[in-house]
């Protein structure tokens, strides 16, 4: 199934039967991605009298309770409610789900104190000739399948400098996707400068803008322009597990 749309005066088409899933699946146990010391995802069957909600335990069907942390257990999309005192929710903030998006790969720069940081100058150079889009996907390098099962807790993973985030806001980016646990440093004393810069909080909150973290973009997916679909559950909290999907674009003559 193909769809055709116009972007910046050009026409493109995307084949919806060829999705490129860039989400990390939610899995139980320790052999999956985790960060910020969140407990791993757990499931347990509902037990009521003689009823057991597990076919493996002899029940007629699977009827499981699920315990997880959206921010710590896998790919998730968050809104300004993540840092705000006001009760913003992802279900209320994310109202559109398809966007032209640009994928770029970047090596975080190692600083003198050992941090690995994506700086403004790197993004300015990488996007110098890039298209104007609402959504940006950042793949950090090096990139391999270890990102599907890395425990980032206490590891001081790479992050994005708040001035780099400010540049993206100036450029009109409203949806940022990245393969890191957070755009901010793991331990920053609660400053959250990158989050605050992206959502312009508290001065003028960008309520319809989102950050998606802990994605994984396989190396077979090349940098460039895509159609992005962000799928969430309708949680009335600050974040939801999510399934961002890309579709390759072909120009229509």
Instruction: Give which of 216, 253, 226 is closest to 15, Cα–Cα.
Output: 226
What average pLDDT does range 111-129 have in this prediction? 96
Q: What is the pTM of this model?
A: 0.97
- Sign (positive or negative) of CA dihedral 116, 68, 38, 148: negative
pLDDT digits (tens, 9 = 90+) for 99-113: 999 999 999 999 999
Tokens of 195: 């989050």
φ, ψ of residue 112 in degrees (nearest 5)? -65, -30
Average pLDDT over the chain reads: 97
pLDDT digits (tens, 9 = 90+) for 161-202: 999 999 999 999 999 999 999 999 999 999 999 999 999 999
User: Where are the domains positioned within the chain?
Assistant: 2-33+70-251
Give per-residue burial for 181-218: e unless 16+ CB within 10 Å, then b: bbbbbbeeeeebbbbbbbbebeeebebebbbbbbbbbe
Can you name the residues that pair with 78 across neighbouring β-strands?
Answer: 211, 239
Indicate the fold that domain 2-33+70-251 takes in CATH. Answer: Glucose Oxidase; domain 1 (3.50.30)
């Amino acid at each position: 199934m193909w769809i055709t749309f116009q972007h910046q005066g050009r026409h493109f088409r995307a084949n919806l039967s060829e999705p490129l899933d860039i989400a990390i699946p939610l899995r139980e146990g320790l052999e999956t991605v985790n960060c910020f010391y969140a407990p791993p995802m757990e499931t347990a069957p509902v037990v009521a009298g003689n009823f057991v909600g597990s076919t493996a335990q002899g029940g007629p069907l699977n009827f499981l309770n699920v315990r997880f942390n959206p921010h710590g257990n896998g790919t998730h999309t968050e809104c300004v409610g993540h840092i705000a005192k006001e009760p913003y929710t992802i279900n209320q903030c994310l109202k559109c789900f398809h966007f032209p998006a640009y994928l770029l790969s970047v090596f975080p720069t190692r600083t003198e104190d050992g941090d690995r940081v994506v700086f403004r100058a790197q993004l300015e150079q990488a996007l110098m000739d890039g298209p104007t889009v609402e959504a940006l996907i950042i793949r950090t390098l090096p990139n391999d399948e270890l990102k599907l099962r890395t425990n980032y807790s206490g590891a001081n993973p790479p992050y994005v400098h708040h001035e780099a985030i400010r540049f993206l806001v100036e450029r009109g980016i409203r949806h940022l996707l990245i393969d890191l646990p957070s755009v901010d440093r793991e331990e920053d004393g609660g400053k959250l400068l990158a989050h605050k810069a992206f959502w312009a909080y508290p001065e003028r909150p960008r309520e319809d803008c989102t950050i998606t973290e802990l994605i994984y973009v396989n190396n077979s997916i090349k940098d460039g322009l895509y159609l992005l679909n962000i799928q969430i559950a309708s949680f009335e909290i600050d974040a939801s597990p999510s399934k961002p999907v890309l579709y390759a674009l072909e120009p229509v003559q």
